[in-house]
Amino acid sequence: MRTRFAAVVLGTLVLAGCASRSSPNSLDPAGSQARSISGLWWVLLWTATGVFVVVLTLILWGAFGRRRGNPGGLGDHRFITVGGIAVPFVILAIVGVLTVTVARDISARPEDPFRVEVIGHRWWWEVRYHDTGFVSANELRVPTGRPVSVTVRSVDVIHSLWIPQVAGKLDAIPGQPNHLTFELDRPGRITGLCAEYCGIQHTNMAIAVVGMEPDDFSKWMAEHSARTSPVSPTSAAEARGEATFMQEACSGCHSIAGTMATGTVGPALTDLAARPLLGAGAIPNTPENLRRWIADTQGVKPGSLMPTLDLPPDEVDDLVAYLTGLR
């Protein structure tokens, strides 16, 4: 039995090491908060393993050993008091101190953080950059090495923002803004998810978190905050697509900075083509998938609040041409 357990523990370690790199693995931290918590996890795991081995040994010894008159030579009551009260008390006291230490660590409010707002919708995330007023969706870009303070809100039901590699969860609750602090310490893209069941498409509610070197980030932010005039179409198809977008239902729900499209019901599309995924993680963002998405939204993400629009195929092509130019 103990061999089996040792195998299980070893298996844990091996699997923790080789879970796919792109997975939102809380044991592969990319920020100080997640690092504190994963450190805590390893302490908890080894403590629990120690307790498990000792107690299991006692159980098996009792079950298979010969009859003994007096447990541990202490008598029932002392044996139970020591094993069941005193020892657990000491272990819990240590765990308690650890809890408080790490809790204080992760709830510290840094000075001068980068501020951003993430708002849960059914079933996508709105991202608002306060400093510049730029609005995006399902992708959160942050400078690395600087604390980020996220105001988490919801406009409908309760969601929960979970970016396992940088921090624990924080619920997005209607009527109650919450504040999540984290720091991303390496550039690159990691995955965030919705962790509170929020309806039919709870599963497809991912948010990409992109860490950028501070200089790159400033450049990107400046580029996007300056975008007050529309991106000029570079082809006839794009121009027709833009016209379709503005005339059809699209612009009633979606916004594109610098255009007449100012809808707030659906995700902002200003930088749609720069995002890796469509439908908050439902499918990869390729031109073919974008066509599928527009032509058959309900087939790709059943229950999504975006209706299938029944546009003629050539109009869909134009829309795809237009939208793939939005970066």
Q: Where in 62-101 is the site for another protein (CB under 8 A)?
A: 62-72, 76-77, 79-80, 83-85, 87-89, 92, 95-96, 98-100
Is 263 within 8 Å of 255 (Cβ atoms)?
A: yes
Q: Residue 15 or residue 260: which is nearer to another protein going by CB?
A: 15
Among 9, 35, 102, 233, binds another protein (CB under 8 A): 102
Q: Residue 35 or residue 227: which is nearer to another protein going by CB?
A: 35
182: which residues sit within 8 A by CB, 6+ positions away?
31, 32, 33, 34, 147, 148, 150, 163, 166, 167
Count of CB atoms situated within 10 Å of the CB of 58 = 14
Which amino acid, 263? Answer: G
* CB of residue 40 to another protein, shortest distance in Å: 5
Q: Residue 157 or residue 239: which is nearer to another protein going by CB?
A: 157
Among 107, 234, 235, 262, binds another protein (CB under 8 A): 107
- Judged by CB under 8 A, the stretch of 110-118, 141-149, 150-158, 311-319 that binds another protein is 150-158
34 is a site residue for another protein (CB under 8 A): yes
Among 173, 273, 305, 309, binds another protein (CB under 8 A): 173
Count of CB atoms situated within 10 Å of the CB of 76 = 10
Going from the C-alpha of 38 to that of each of 27, 191, 218, the distances in angstroms are 6, 17, 31
The three-state secondary structure class of 84 is helix
276 is a site residue for another protein (CB under 8 A): no
Among 6, 7, 10, 19, binds another protein (CB under 8 A): 19
305 is a site residue for another protein (CB under 8 A): no
Among 2, 7, 52, 219, binds another protein (CB under 8 A): 52
* CB of residue 157 to another protein, shortest distance in Å: 4
The residue whose two tokens read 């979606």 is 254
* CB of residue 139 to another protein, shortest distance in Å: 16
15 is a site residue for another protein (CB under 8 A): yes
Is 156 within 8 Å of 264 (Cβ atoms)?
A: no
Beta pairing class for 283-284 and 170-172: unpaired
201 is a site residue for another protein (CB under 8 A): yes
d(C-alpha 35, C-alpha 320), whole Å: 41
* CB of residue 106 to another protein, shortest distance in Å: 6
* CB of residue 274 to another protein, shortest distance in Å: 20
> Cα dihedral angle (65, 69, 71, 77), rounded to 10 degrees?
150
Among 31, 143, 147, 164, binds another protein (CB under 8 A): 164
In the chain, at which residue ranges do the beta strands (DSSP E only) sit? 114-121, 124-129, 135-137, 139-143, 148-154, 159-162, 170-172, 178-182, 188-194, 207-212, 277-278, 283-284
48 is a site residue for another protein (CB under 8 A): yes
d(C-alpha 65, C-alpha 93), whole Å: 33
Binding residues among 239-268 for another protein as defined by CB under 8 A: none
Among 121, 122, 141, 224, binds another protein (CB under 8 A): 122
Q: Please state whether 33 falls in left (phi above 0), alpha (psi between -120 and 50) or beta.
A: alpha
296 is a site residue for another protein (CB under 8 A): no
* CB of residue 90 to another protein, shortest distance in Å: 11
